């Protein structure tokens, strides 16, 4: 077998690495499940997309239709809603009804009420329905308000509505969810969808089909998600026509780049970041272990000598072992984050953008490779397995625990006032100097590329793709390059 392949196979199939993989996968599974289960109760406000309508049934009853999805258009089950209806009569108002609802697996929470006095009035609506969140921690947040001006308004045989959603595969791209509601609960007949780019904000006037792009013919749907090709920040109008384009059934608009649909701050992204943070520590331990097992221990015990006596250069030996160790780290990172993303998709119906998952894998792998490189470096600076184990424990404690204290206290010792710009800048610089922060910085850079919100306000402190690259180069390359030098120049 090719020696480099042997090294890789040896690292990946060693009992210890397989045990690590199983432990990591199990931990990721349990954590993701636990966080996801918790998340169904506390879905962050502003993330869900709701579609509401009031229909007058053939029986004379009104039905308030509430349809709740996540930012990607997937139905949310178990979302709690409170309806408050107020009736107006002359100059007086009185509560008509109050109802607490929970969405079903299909995302619907409907409420039917009977009322005979919803008539047109010159002074305002006769019935006003307020729709609020009733989820724990979000009670009272207004989702929508519906006003019934007259019976005719609700007696329309059907309604199309448009909600803005994000493309799960491209979180910065907008899409739309077209919903169809009818009094007989049926699905939409065949309609043609068109998209028309508007030069300015929505005028409310149907621009016609002259310059519109045909998106397709859709039929038999209650809700359909469409992700047309759009340009960021541009205004678009969606036109719904009957099958032979003779009648306009609906037109609505949206603005491309729908930030709330991006993964920034979404619950599923928070779950993934939490899981990646915890698994990050396990991966650091794994890197230390793998570095010790496939290189440090072999060097200290003289096992590496038996390999070095073979036709392989000193550079070749360390390179093959570093590549196999790094590959092991990549497999562990990818397996854990891939599983977490998959579980979030299954449990929450949310699609984590691949780009975001890739950023986390990059961050975790880079951190792990940093520690791998440090282990290789200290394998050349220590003379025994005991000393190497001691250094490993020191490095782990330094970077995972002690460093955060250093980052807090060093700026103070240097005279910066906590909270001041100088203090914050120093704190961020110190964070940069810690390889365990690579994932955090990578996600911040990613956030800043798609949103103006972020934990550290990245751009203020020089956190950008260049400083991230420099950080990765510093921690990933410097230790291993020094280790290479020592391997080639020293015994």
Binding residues for another protein, rule: CB under 8 A, are: 1-3, 6, 10, 14-15, 298, 301-303, 305-306, 308-314, 316, 489-491
Say how far residue 301 (Cα) sits from the centre of its chain: 46
Cβ neighbours around 487 below 10 Å, total? 27
Q: How far is the CB of 388 from another protein (least distance, A)?
A: 16
Tokens encoding 476:
């990933």
| Pair of tokens at residue 259 | 């930030």
Nearest to another protein of 39, 291 (CB atom):
291
Smallest separation, CB 21 to another protein (Å): 17
How far are the Cα atoms of 155, 178, 272, 294, 456 from residue 119, in angstroms, in the given order? Answer: 12, 29, 51, 81, 54
Residue closer to another protein by CB (options 173, 320) is: 320
Find the shortest distance in angstroms from Cβ 302 to another protein.
Answer: 4
Please state the closest distance from residue 287 (CB atom) to another protein, in A.
20
| Least distance from another protein to the Cβ atom of residue 475, Å | 29
Compare residues 8 and 31 and give the one whose CB is closer to another protein: 8
Count of CB atoms situated within 10 Å of the CB of 239: 25
Q: How near is the Cβ of 2 to another protein at its closest, in Å?
A: 6
Contacts of 101 (CB under 8 A, 6+ apart): 66, 80, 81, 82, 83, 109, 110, 111
Q: Where are the alpha helices (DSSP H) in 40-168?
A: 151-155
Integer Cα distance of 226 and 208 in angstroms: 20
Nearer CB in complex with another protein: 98/305? 305
When the beta carbons of 2 and 142 are compared against another protein, the nearer one is 2
How far apart CA 288 and CA 369 sit, in angstroms, is: 9
Q: Which is nearer to another protein, 301 or 346 (CB)?
A: 301
Nearer to another protein, 205 or 310 (CB): 310
**Smallest distance from another protein to CB 480, Å:** 20
Least distance (Å) between residue 14 CB and another protein? 8
Residue 194 vs 484, nearer CB to another protein:
484
Nearer to another protein, 312 or 389 (CB): 312
Q: Which of 459, 443, 254 minimizes the C-alpha distance to 353?
A: 443
Indicate the burial class of 474 (C-beta count within 10 angstroms; 0-12, 13-18, 19 or more): middle
A 10 A CB-CB count for 190 gives 11
Q: How far is the CB of 25 from another protein (least distance, A)?
A: 23
- Give the angle subtended at the CA of 164 by the CAs of 210 and 131, to the nearest 5°: 125
d(CA 486, CA 81): 65
DSSP 263-320: STT-HHHHHHHHHHHHHHHHHHHHHHHHHIIIIIHHHHHTHHHHHHTSS--HHHHHHH
**How many angstroms separate the CA atoms of 437 and 351, rounded?**
25
Query: Minimal distance in Å, beta carbon 7 to another protein?
Result: 9
Encoding tokens for residue 398? 């330094």
**Which pair of tokens denotes residue 432?**
């940069």
> Which one, 196 or 298, has the nearer CB to another protein?
298
Instruction: Copy the structure tokens of residue 265.
Output: 């701050």
Q: How far is CA 356 from CA 45, 269, 306, 311, 456, in A?
A: 21, 9, 44, 43, 18
Contacts of 305 (CB under 8 A, 6+ apart): none
**CB-based contact 328:11 (threshold 8 Å):** yes
- Between 51 and 298, CB nearer to another protein: 298
Least CB distance to another protein at residue 301 (A): 6
CB of residue 311 vs another protein: minimum separation in angstroms? 4
Please answer whether residues 143 and 50 qualify as being in contact, where contact means their C-beta atoms are separated by less than 8 angstroms. yes
Q: Determine the number of helices (DSSP H) and then strands (DSSP E) in the chain.
A: 14, 14
Cβ nearer to another protein, comparing 76 with 294 = 294
Residue 108 C-beta: closest distance to another protein, Å: 59
Nearer to another protein, 92 or 490 (CB): 490
């Amino acid at each position: 077998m090719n020696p480099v392949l042997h090294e890789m196979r040896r690292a990946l199939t060693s009992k210890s690495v397989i045990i690590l993989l199983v432990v990591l996968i199990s931990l990721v599974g349990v954590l993701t499940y636990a966080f996801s289960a918790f998340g169904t109760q506390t879905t962050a406000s502003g993330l869900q997309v709701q579609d509401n309508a009031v229909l007058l049934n053939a029986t004379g009853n009104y039905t308030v239709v509430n349809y709740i999805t996540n930012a990607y258009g997937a139905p949310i089950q178990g979302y709690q809603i409170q309806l408050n209806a107020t009736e107006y009569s002359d100059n007086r108002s009185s509560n008509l009804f109050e109802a607490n609802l929970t969405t079903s697996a299909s995302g619907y929470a409907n409420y039917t009420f009977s009322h005979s006095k919803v008539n047109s009035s010159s002074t305002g609506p006769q019935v006003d329905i307020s729709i609020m969140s009733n989820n724990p921690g979000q009670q009272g947040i207004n989702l929508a308000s519906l006003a019934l001006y007259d019976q005719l308004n609700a007696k329309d045989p059907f309604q199309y509505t448009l909600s803005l959603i994000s493309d799960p595969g491209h979180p910065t791209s907008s899409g739309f969810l077209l919903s169809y509601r009818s009094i007989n609960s049926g699905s939409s007949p065949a309609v043609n969808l068109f998209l028309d780019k508007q030069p300015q904000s929505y005028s409310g006037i149907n621009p016609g089909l002259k310059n519109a792009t045909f998106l397709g013919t859709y039929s038999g749907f209650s809700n359909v998600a469409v992700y047309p090709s759009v340009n960021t920040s541009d205004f678009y109008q969606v036109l719904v026509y009957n099958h032979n384009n003779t009648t306009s059934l609906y037109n609505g608009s949206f603005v491309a780049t729908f930030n709330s649909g991006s993964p920034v701050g979404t619950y599923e992204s928070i779950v993934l970041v939490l899981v990646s943070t915890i698994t990050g520590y396990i991966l650091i331990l794994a890197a230390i272990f793998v570095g010790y097992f496939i290189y440090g221990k072999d060097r200290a015990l003289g096992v590496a000598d038996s390999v070095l006596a073979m036709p392989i250069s000193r550079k070749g030996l360390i390179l093959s072992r570093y590549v196999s160790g790094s590959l092991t780290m990549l497999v562990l990172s990818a397996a854990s984050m891939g599983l977490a993303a998959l579980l979030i998709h299954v449990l929450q119906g949310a699609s984590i953008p691949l780009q975001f998952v890739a950023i986390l894998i990059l961050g975790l792998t880079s951190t792990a490779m940093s520690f791998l490189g440090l282990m290789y470096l200290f394998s050349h600076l220590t003379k025994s397995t005991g000393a190497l184990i001691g250094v490993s424990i020191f490095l782990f404690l330094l970077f995972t625990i002690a460093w955060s204290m250093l980052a807090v206290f060093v700026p103070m010792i240097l005279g910066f006032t906590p909270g001041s710009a100088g203090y914050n800048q120093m704190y961020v610089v110190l964070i940069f100097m810690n390889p365990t922060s690579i994932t955090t910085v990578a996600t911040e850079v990613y956030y800043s590329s798609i949103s103006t919100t972020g934990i550290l306000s990245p751009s203020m402190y020089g956190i950008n793709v260049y400083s991230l690259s420099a950080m990765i180069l510093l921690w990933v390359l410097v230790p291993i390059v020094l280790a290479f030098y020592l391997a080639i120049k020293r015994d």
